[in-house]
Amino acid sequence: MTLTFVKTSAILILVTLHGIAAQAQTPRKAINIPMEPAHWQYDTAGAEFITYQNYKAVHIKQAPPLIPKNVQFSNGTIEFDAAFGYGFPGITFRISPDGRNADHFYLRYFGTTSPHSRVTLQYSAMIDSMSLWDLTDEYQAGAALRIPGWNHVRLVISGKQMRAYVNDMTRPALIVPALEGSSESGRIAFSGGEIYLANLVITPNAVEDLSPVKGYVSAYNDTRYLRNWQVSKAFPFPFGQDVAPRFRNQVSPHYPDSTTTWTPSVTEDRGILNLTRALGATDFRNRRLAWAKTVIESDSTQDRLLHMGFSDEMWLFVNGELVHVDKNHFGTPGQKFPQGRCTIENTVVKLPLKKGKNEILVGLSNYFYGWGLIARLDATDGLRL
């Protein structure tokens, strides 16, 4: 076999593969979903097909999701027009076959709106049927909504990335560099509040210049995050129960012991230890408790500041000693900034470290939407995580 033949064969293989890839990514014809009952799966008590402000539309009320029939979406562009009533209407896409996992984009309107309010738009993953909106504060943004009137929404979705445009089609209102849902394709659905929906158009594989691989997430380069944890199982923790500090030979029955089993768990792109993904969703009002531990090795005895985010309650032990107890209940006077969500801004704790290895143990309870933990040191000089 000659070298020329090998080179020619390699070139032909590359050209063929390139052609197959290009064909797979070539935008297909736009699909217009008629606003007519025959094309939708819906609850007749929760949606009605009408003419609204000169468009054929569907009026979605607070009800089960409205699902276009025979539509599977992976990558491409989803466009629609929305007129608002009240609430947080949105679209769920790439819904898994069992309906428990997906990606979710929605808008909020509760009587007032401002392009400067960063809670107007939200992206969150849905894991084990639970929306993780309280764990994804970074994926909120503002937008200028037309109230009253039609608002044009365009989502460009490519692999792990998404751009969301609202009314201004020249500049994304929200950019998500790393979608956190676990499905690559699936159904789409509309829900979440009172909304009038019209002009739904889906164009498969029309992704503009958006790369399918994960984009830059600011926490990626930051070595101060505590990323490697051991996580226990979750167990029932009824309201009224607490984690007591260790006192002499008395140990709280909720404190982990030699029989506790631990599973290694690494934080996600944003530095968050996502317990909903690791341990499943918690049913509302059925409070659960789990433990997470890690080790910090210090060259000397020193104090460090630990910036922490958590949901919903937290007990922090250092080398067996309780050093901090905190709560972050959404909608209560004591909720943490910002608005009860789990972010690195929730609290700052002084971490007393001895020379050598230090066990950091965190108890986390949850009863409301997603739960997790995020922790970042002020500095790592003289430390090994």
Span 100-122, pLDDT tens digits: 999 999 999 888 888 888 899 99
Residues 249 and 308 in one domain: yes
Dist CA 86 CA 73 (whole Å): 27
Confidence check: pLDDT of 11 > 60: no
Dist CA 236 CA 59 (whole Å): 41
Return the number of other C-beta atoms located less than 10 Å from residue 147's C-beta: 12
Confidence check: pLDDT of 1 > 50: no
6 Cβ partners below 8 Å, 6+ apart?
A: none
The whole-number pLDDT of residue 61 equals: 86
Residues 235 and 148 in one domain: no
Dist CA 45 CA 63 (whole Å): 8
The whole-number pLDDT of residue 3 equals: 42
The whole-number pLDDT of residue 92 equals: 97
Residues 157 and 231 in one domain: no
The model's pLDDT over 25-80, given as tens digits with 9 standing for 90+, comes to 677 899 999 999 999 999 998 899 999 999 999 999 877 899 999 999 999 999 99
Asked if residue 145 lies in contact with residue 107, where contact means CB atoms within 8 angstroms, the answer is yes
Torsion angle of alpha carbons 297, 302, 305, 309, nearest 10°?
A: 40
Domain that holds residue 338: 218-384
Residues 37 and 178 in one domain: yes
Given 204, 234, 269, the domain boundary residue is 204
Note whether residue 232 is domain-resident: yes
Place of tokens 């007032």: 112
Residues 232 and 369 in one domain: yes
Confidence check: pLDDT of 96 > 90: yes
Torsion angle of alpha carbons 53, 33, 70, 211, nearest 10°?
A: -110
Q: Which of 306, 335, 336 is nearest to 318 (CA)?
A: 306
Of the chain, the percentage scoring pLDDT greater than 70 comes to 92
Surface-to-core class of residue 343, CB atoms within 10 Å of its CB (0-12 exposed, 13-18 middle, 19+ buried): buried
Note whether residue 258 is domain-resident: yes
Residues 195 and 229 in one domain: no
Asked if residue 44 lies in contact with residue 64, where contact means CB atoms within 8 angstroms, the answer is no
Q: Domain total for the chain? A: 2
Query: What is the band of 342 on the pLDDT scale with cuts at 50, 70, 90?
Result: very high
At 360, the amino acid letter reads: I
SS3 7: helix
Return the number of other C-beta atoms located less than 10 Å from residue 18's C-beta: 10
Lowest mean pLDDT among 221-225, 254-258, 376-380: 254-258
Tokens found for residue 257: 């012991």
The whole-number pLDDT of residue 249 equals: 64
Note whether residue 7 is domain-resident: no
Q: State residue 336 phi and psi, 5-degree precision.
A: -80, 155
Place of tokens 């167990």: 235
Higher pLDDT, 21 or 112: 112
Query: What is the band of 248 on the pLDDT scale with cuts at 50, 70, 90?
Result: low
Helices (H) and strands (E) in the chain, counts: 2, 26
∠204-206-208 over CA atoms, to 5°? 160
Residues 53 and 152 in one domain: yes
The whole-number pLDDT of residue 153 equals: 97
Return the number of other C-beta atoms located less than 10 Å from residue 203's C-beta: 16
Residues 343 and 375 in one domain: yes
In our burial notation (b when 16+ CB lie closer than 10 A, e otherwise), range 105-144 reads bbbbbeeebeeeeebbbbbbbbbbebbbbbbbbbbbbbbe
Residues 235 and 371 in one domain: yes
CATH code: domain of residue 142: 2.60.120.560
Residues 134 and 258 in one domain: no
Residues 153 and 244 in one domain: no
What average pLDDT does range 313-330 have in this prediction? 95
Query: What is the band of 284 on the pLDDT scale with cuts at 50, 70, 90?
Result: confident
Dist CA 269 CA 272 (whole Å): 7
The whole-number pLDDT of residue 7 equals: 41
Which helix (H) or strand (E) is 377 found in, with range? strand 372-377
Lowest mean pLDDT among 127-131, 175-179, 253-257, 364-368: 253-257
CATH code: domain of residue 316: 2.60.120
First-to-final CA distance of the chain? 55
Kind of pairing between the strands at 151-158 and 76-95: antiparallel
Note whether residue 242 is domain-resident: yes
Note whether residue 94 is domain-resident: yes
Given 204, 229, 262, the domain boundary residue is 204
Dist CA 275 CA 273 (whole Å): 6
Confidence check: pLDDT of 125 > 90: yes
Note whether residue 213 is domain-resident: no
Note whether residue 177 is domain-resident: yes
Residues 260 and 332 in one domain: yes
Side by side, which strands form the sheet with 302-311?
Answer: 272-274, 372-377, 302-311, 347-353
What mean pLDDT is reported for the chain?
91
Dist CA 104 CA 38 (whole Å): 25
The whole-number pLDDT of residue 250 equals: 66
Q: Which of 208, 227, 209, 230 is nearest to 217 (CA)?
A: 227
Note whether residue 210 is domain-resident: no
Confidence check: pLDDT of 2 > 80: no
SS3 278: helix
Given 147, 169, 204, the domain boundary residue is 204
